[in-house]
Amino acid sequence: MHIDARTLPNNTLIEGDICIIGAGAAGISMAMEWMNTAYKVILLEGGGFQYETQMQDLYKGKTTGQRYYPLDAARLHYFGGTTGHWAGFCSVFEKIDFEKREWVPHSGWPIKREDLDAYYPRAQKNLDLGPYEWDYAYWLKQDPTMLSLPFDQEVLYNKIWQFSPPTRFGDKYKDAIVKSANVHLYTYANVTNIGANENVSAVKEVTVKNFAGKEHTVRAKIFVSACCAIQNARLLLASNKQAPKGLGNDNDLVGRYFMEHIEIKSAEMWLPDPDPLKLYAIDFGKTKWRAELGITAKAQEQHRILNGTASFTPLEIARKQPAFIDSFTADRGESMRNWKKRGHKDEQPAQKKGYASYQLFTRVEQAPNPDSRVTLDTEADALGMPRADLHWVLTPLEKRSIRTIYEIIGQQIGAASKGRVRLLEYLWDEKNDSWPEFTGGGWHHMGTTRMSDDPKNGVTDANCKVHGISNLYMAGSSNYVTAAAPNPTLTLVALTLRLSDHLKKQIGGGV
């Protein structure tokens, strides 16, 4: 069922069993899980069904620290959320990604990789991925021409990626939600405040506003915030009427540990003979799977480095491409609307005979860092909500990890006499911790309401429930403790399905 919140009489009271805030990858995945159940689900989406400049403006915010994308260019504010822009790169987190690594400060999740094992296959279906197979050996059997670079498997491995078409959640799931009898989707329903009970131990209601000047109240037994990492933090911090530091923020952790993947060109590789590197190539829109070079858990531990992967783009193509960080900075309204039309053709398949030189491109996790954080700006948006202020901070560990990854790859490629690897200049000086101007993120927002069993270390518990608030949950990558090497969406959908199963047990038991 669909209701445009602008058309309701002012001050309407909306009531249901579960209230999901935000209809992106996480919010829609959650809503679909509750379809055709006995429960009344309220799905609140701030935007409508299309991109609107006025709506997007609500995402504007300040950025300081490491240069970052304009916040309103890094997320989409309408039904389907940022899946309207995402590129569909997917891979699974590894066992080590959940562990406490003593060389990575603030690492260690309260859950293990096995806790997501049952949910990844379900998440893959939501994202229209292939089989739940992530070992190179399986994929080599499907296509024996996908040959690996030569390397020591104790040090490097072929990390498999699968590609979503990419699934646009707003297109794929709209009909089912609009036709549903028990999922009540409200568009133009921007949540501007989460109101708690008297002793701030439970959420009582949320306030919804829109540009028609209407304000409504939503009450439910359970509330799930699925607005993505920056907006999840902003919403908690802005809900500061009863809890002056913001809801769930007694320990000053909401908004902290914001993480991105650093996506950056890092090295060049020359081969004596042209090679298409077929296993590592991508033809955008057609490639269903490929590999990137991953660093084994053993090598990460031995070198005390973060997790990351390397991909290969023919040098002659790569040299013509702008850095990610320079995309979407000028004329961004137009480029954002036209992203789908433009396609995402910034990577090309290798020619039949291949290329003799490649650029090596890194995706490395950022070490969790309390100083990398989202706070509230003094300026408010058009609905009166303080804007987000992102202070993105990197640490020397990220840079050392990238340098080490390419030293390892260079040694391996050289030892096998396959070719030669040259690190880019910015990695040469071990004492230089600065970052070049082309340093960018992957548009992956993580952290800000990190999980921990201990309220002094995290905002949510192992079930994504906000510590100290009995019925408020965070869905999505804001729960991440560490970022791992892969892009976040597959794992955040898996985590959301896990949360959904947990909530079904909770509500069944009468929350």
Rounded to a whole number of angstroms, the minimum distance from the CB of residue 478 to ligand FAD is: 8
Rounded to a whole number of angstroms, the minimum distance from the CB of residue 367 to ligand FAD is: 20
Q: Which amino acid is at 136?
A: Y
Give the DSSP per-residue string, 84-119. Answer: GT---EE-PPPHHHHS--TTSTT---SS-GGGGTTT
Task: Give 86 or 312: the residue with its C-beta nearer to ligand FAD.
Answer: 86
Rounded to a whole number of angstroms, the minimum distance from the CB of residue 127 to ligand FAD is: 9
Q: Minimal CB distance to ligand FAD: which residue? A: 24
**Long-range contacts made by residues 112-115, C-beta under 8 angstroms, separation at least 24?**
115/498
Task: Give 492 or 494: the residue with its C-beta nearer to ligand FAD.
Answer: 492
Rounded to a whole number of angstroms, the minimum distance from the CB of residue 210 to ligand FAD is: 10
Rounded to a whole number of angstroms, the minimum distance from the CB of residue 291 to ligand FAD is: 16
Task: Give 313 or 404: the residue with its C-beta nearer to ligand FAD.
Answer: 313
**Of 486, 507, 447, the residue nearest 124 (C-alpha):** 486
Rounded to a whole number of angstroms, the minimum distance from the CB of residue 486 to ligand FAD is: 7
b or e along 428-460 (b: 16 or more beta carbons within 10 Å of the residue's beta carbon)? eeeeeeebeeebbbbbbbbbbbbbbeebebbbb
Task: Give 103 or 132: the residue with its C-beta nearer to ligand FAD.
Answer: 132
Task: Give 404 or 491: the residue with its C-beta nearer to ligand FAD.
Answer: 491
Binding site for ligand FAD (CB under 6 A): 21-27, 44-47, 74-75, 77-78, 81-83, 85-90, 190-191, 226-228, 231, 235, 443-444, 476-477, 487-489, 492
Rounded to a whole number of angstroms, the minimum distance from the CB of residue 222 to ligand FAD is: 16
Task: Give 29 or 452: the residue with its C-beta nearer to ligand FAD.
Answer: 29
Rounded to a whole number of angstroms, the minimum distance from the CB of residue 327 to ligand FAD is: 8
Task: Give 227 or 350: the residue with its C-beta nearer to ligand FAD.
Answer: 227
Alpha carbon distances (Å) from 126 to 29, 33, 120: 7, 11, 10
What are the residues whose beta carbons fall under 8 Å from the beta carbon of 88, sequence distance 6 or more? 127, 163, 164, 165, 166, 167
b or e along 288-323 (b: 16 or more beta carbons within 10 Å of the residue's beta carbon)? ebbbbbbbbbebbeebebbbbbbbbbbbebbeebee
Task: Give 76 or 306: the residue with its C-beta nearer to ligand FAD.
Answer: 76
* Type and span of the H or E element at 174: helix 174-179
Q: Is 496 within 8 Å of 26 (Cβ atoms)? A: yes
Q: Is 201 within 8 Å of 469 (Cβ atoms)? A: yes
